[in-house]
Amino acid sequence: MYDFTSIYRASSVPDAIAALEREPRAVVIAGGSDVLIKIREGKLAGVPLVSIHGLDAELAGVSLLENGDLAIGPLTTFRGVTRDPLIQAHVPVLGEAADMAGGPQLRAVGTIGGNVCNGVTSADTASTLMAFGAELHLRGPAGWRVVPISDWYQGVGKVDLGPAELLCRIVLPRDHFEGWSGHYIKYAQRNAMDIATLGVSCLVKLSADKTTCEDVRLAFGVAAPTPIRSHTAEDGVRGLPVAQAAERIGTLALEDINPRTSWRASKEFRVQLVRELSGRALLEAARKGGAAV
C-alpha cells in the first residue's frame, strides 16, 4: 500500500518546477526505486508527488558538450549509464559503478539522478562522481545554478537542492576524465543486490612511461556520513611510482575518513577496508591505464 495524496505528471521541466512551486510539500518521483520504498515505510507517507518520469527528451541520455565535457541526464537509468557508448569510451569506471547498484530490475528503472539526489553515502555512483569532480546543474524558479559535487552533500540524506529545484544535468569536466583511468570497488556482505559496506573509487593519471602516478583521486562511500574525497591520500602519493603509491595510499586515507559502526559493519572493520581496498583500487586503475602491475 502506497500512501500518497496525489500525483502530478509533469509535461516539461518548467511544468515540473511550477508544480513544485504550487505544492511545496511535493516530492519528485522518477524511477521510484527510492521514493516508493520511503512511502511504503511511512517516511514519506501522505505526500503529493510530481512525476518527471516522462521527461526523457529533456532529462535522459549522455552527450558530449562543445567544450568536450560529458553531460549525463539525471533520468538516465543505471543500465543506460553502463551501456552508453560515451560512458564506455570516456569514463568506463562510472558505468562499472552503476552496474553494481542493486539487481537487474532496479538498474532498469533506478536513475543516476535519483542516486545523487537521495544524498545517501552508500550510493554506488556517488564516490565515482565525487572522484571526477562532477558539476550538478540545477534549474528552479530563479533560473539555473551549478553546484560542484564537493558542496552538494550537506549531511546524512541532505543535499543542496533548493525549493522547487530540479537536477537537470550532471557534467563531468573534460580535464577531469581525459587521460585518467579508474576503478571502483564495492565491498558488501553479498555479491549482488546489497548496499555497500564500503565503496572505493580511485582515478589515476599515469606518466608517459606508465610507471608513475602523475595524479590520483580517491573517493569513498560509507567512510563518512557523506561521500568524500581523501585529499590527504591524493597529495601524499602524487608523483610516486605506482607500486609505492599503492602501498601508501590506504594508510594516508585514514586521516580523512570518519566511518561509523552500523549493523552492517563496525567502524574498525570499515577502517581496515579503507586501508586495504584503496591500494587495490589504485593498482587496478593503473593497470587499466597501461601500467605493468
CA distance 36 to 114: 12
CA distance 286 to 183: 9
Instruction: Indicate whether 166 and 96 sit together in one domain.
Output: yes
Please give the pLDDT value at position 274.
Answer: 98
Instruction: Indicate whether 213 and 161 sit together in one domain.
Output: no
The confidence band for 252, taking pLDDT boundaries of 50, 70 and 90, is: very high
Residue 134 pLDDT > 80 = yes
Per the CB < 8 A criterion, the answer to whether 270 and 259 are in contact is: yes
Residue 244 pLDDT > 70 = yes
Q: What is the CATH number of the domain that holds 218?
A: 3.30.390.50
The confidence band for 1, taking pLDDT boundaries of 50, 70 and 90, is: low
C-alpha cell at 238: 602524487
Instruction: Indicate whether 189 and 277 sit together in one domain.
Output: yes
293: in domain: no
pTM of the model: 0.93
Instruction: Indicate whether 184 and 166 sit together in one domain.
Output: no
Instruction: Indicate whether 115 and 98 sit together in one domain.
Output: yes
Q: What is the CATH number of the domain that holds 142?
A: 3.30.465.10
Sheet holding 135-140, edge to edge: 62-64, 70-72, 166-172, 135-140, 143-148
The confidence band for 192, taking pLDDT boundaries of 50, 70 and 90, is: low
pLDDT tens string 199-219: 999 999 999 999 999 999 999
CA distance 232 to 58: 39
Domain count within the chain:
3
Domain that holds residue 39: 4-51
User: Which of 145, 175, 205 is at the close of a domain?
Assistant: 175
User: Which of 175, 196, 225 is at the close of a domain?
Assistant: 175
Interval 100-121 mean pLDDT: 89
Closest CA to 68 of 174, 200, 148: 174
Instruction: Indicate whether 31 and 69 sit together in one domain.
Output: no
Residue 263 pLDDT > 90 = no
Instruction: Indicate whether 108 and 191 sit together in one domain.
Output: no
Instruction: Indicate whether 214 and 154 sit together in one domain.
Output: no
User: Which of 148, 175, 202 is at the close of a domain?
Assistant: 175
Please give the pLDDT value at position 38.
Answer: 82
Instruction: Indicate whether 30 and 125 sit together in one domain.
Output: no
What H or E segment, with its residue span, contains residue 23? none
Instruction: Indicate whether 118 and 207 sit together in one domain.
Output: no
Instruction: Indicate whether 104 and 126 sit together in one domain.
Output: yes
110: in domain: yes
Average confidence score pLDDT of the chain: 94
Instruction: Indicate whether 14 and 71 sit together in one domain.
Output: no
